[in-house]
Amino acid sequence: MIYFSIINYKINSKNKIFFCTFIAIKKNISFLKIKKNYKIFLNIKQTIYLMFLLNCWKKIFFKNNVLLITIINNEVNSNIDGLFKLYLISKGFYKIHSINLNKIFSKLETLIWSNIGVYSLNDVEKIFKNKNNILIESIDKIPFLTKFIIPKKVRISNTNRVRLGSFISEGTTVMSEGYINFNTFIGKNCMIEGRVSSGVYISNNTDLGGSSSIMGTLSGGGKIIISIGNNCLLGANSGIGFSLGNNCIIEAGLYITSGMKIFLIIKKKYIIVKAKVLSFINNLIFYRNSLNGRIECCKNLQNIFKINKILHIN
């Protein structure tokens, strides 16, 4: 799959492109045969022609425009290419794990993100010399989601804890302690008060309690993609390193990795299994036995976890 985007770019003191905004996006112009990613600098006539071709009429600047050509299956080859792929995920054009993000951290540049714009690290002295009311929000490779996109019908208490490359569905609330990394999917009507690591998929009507955590695919997290089903609850300070089915509950303060031994209760008898064996099974409750310290699991007989609908009115 090939994407064509008109972007308006910024350059640093060394005349190097370090940031851009995406003006128009088009996929699969079939008459072009392209094997690698690249960019074409545009003059005014070319910009107007492409806006007409892409049927996109927006207020734009007629300088510093580039036609960016991106092949989704190719690894990231520049800072702009990396930002564009993360943008496609957050817009919902592509599902997580369906875009090649290899080498993204080596290609993305560390930038200064502020309340009045984004700047290169090379221009830090110039910033403080000319800007009196600047507030530095972060110094990072990946920006906040809201620097590029404002999700519809979503509440985010602290926008600097949601990164570009995450997709958040309608009705979801992200509280101030919630954190959502890039390459993640959050379903409808979720309450996020915990940490959603890179690579995680969360279905609808799920509640992550305060300071809960889901193991991701970065920093030694492995290649296993963790997903959480519908109507699940992770209690405060809990965590998981394996996938959950629908209607599952993790007790507060209980962190379960995939290799932990679980005492599974079936017909009043115990069967010892690893946690990963229980992945994707519906209607389970995980808790720690307060008498002997064992992690036990039994059926969630009610099969229902009800969210507070008033809290999810966005």
The residues annotated as belonging to the active site are 193
Rounded CA gap, 163 and 95, in Å? 16
Provide DSSP, 131-180: -SS--EEEEESS-BGGGT---TT-EES-GGGBBTTEEE-TT-EE-TT-EE
- List of residues 6+ apart from 221 with CB closer than 8 A: 197, 199, 215, 241
What does DSSP assign to residue 76?
A: P
Secondary structure in 3-state letters for 262-314: EEEEECCEEEEEEHHHHCCCCCEEEEECCCCCCEEEEECCCCCCCCCHHHHCC
Backbone angles phi, psi at 5, to 5 degrees: -140, 135
Backbone angles phi, psi at 266, to 5 degrees: -130, 115
Q: Among candidates 242, 224, 233, 241, which has minimal Cα distance to 280?
A: 242
At residue 35, the 3 state secondary structure works out as: coil
Distance in angstroms between the alpha carbons of the first and the last residue of the chain: 35
Rounded CA gap, 309 and 134, in Å? 39
